[in-house]
Structure 1
Amino acid sequence: MEYLTTTQIAKKWNLSRRRVSKLCAEGRVEGAKMMGNLWFVPEDAEKPVDKRLKEAECNK
């Protein structure tokens, strides 16, 4: 399995690196692993649904 850094995933998901790190720390990214002080995310991981938005806004 290939892993990507939070910077690479941030570009892929169109999010900030900080947001990706926060999602990993909250356990919302399946398969994410912390090595040292860096998060590594499986390249095939699904982008979590943004719970800050209402359902109608997510479907746009």
Structure 2
Amino acid sequence: MKYISTSEAAAKWGLSRRRVAILCKENRIEGVQRAGQTWIIPETAEKPADARIKSGKYIKKCEEQSNA
């Protein structure tokens, strides 16, 4: 299995290196491992879903504001 670094995952997913490291620390990336002080991510790992939005209320509110 091939692994990529947090920098490579960040470029691939359009995130910052720091955000990818946080996702690794929170075990939100499937198959992530710690190699010394470096996170290694499986090459086939998918970008985790954004967990900040818990309900549809926020989405509806934003749509209403953009239509006004």
- Normalized against structure 1, the TM-score is what? 0.86
Identity across aligned pairs (percent)?
52
Once the 2 structures are TM-superposed, how far is the Cα of residue 53 of structure 1 from its aligned partner?
3.5
**Structure 2 residue ranges without an equivalent (≥5):** 60-68
Structure 1 match to 2:29: 29
Structure 2 match to 1:2: 2
Matched, 1:40 2:40: yes
Tell me, in whole angstroms, the C-alpha distance in 2 between the residues paired with 1:46 and 1:33: 15
After superposing on structure 2, the runs of 4+ consecutive aligned residues of structure 1 that deviate more than 2 Å are 53-56
**Structure 1 residue ranges without an equivalent (≥5):** none
Q: Choose between structure 1 and 2 for higher RCO, CA contacts under 8 A separated by at least 6 residues.
A: 1
Higher helix share: 2
- Normalized against structure 2, the TM-score is what? 0.76
How many residues align structurally?
56
RMSD: 1.3
Q: 3-state SS of the aligned residue for 1:29?
A: coil
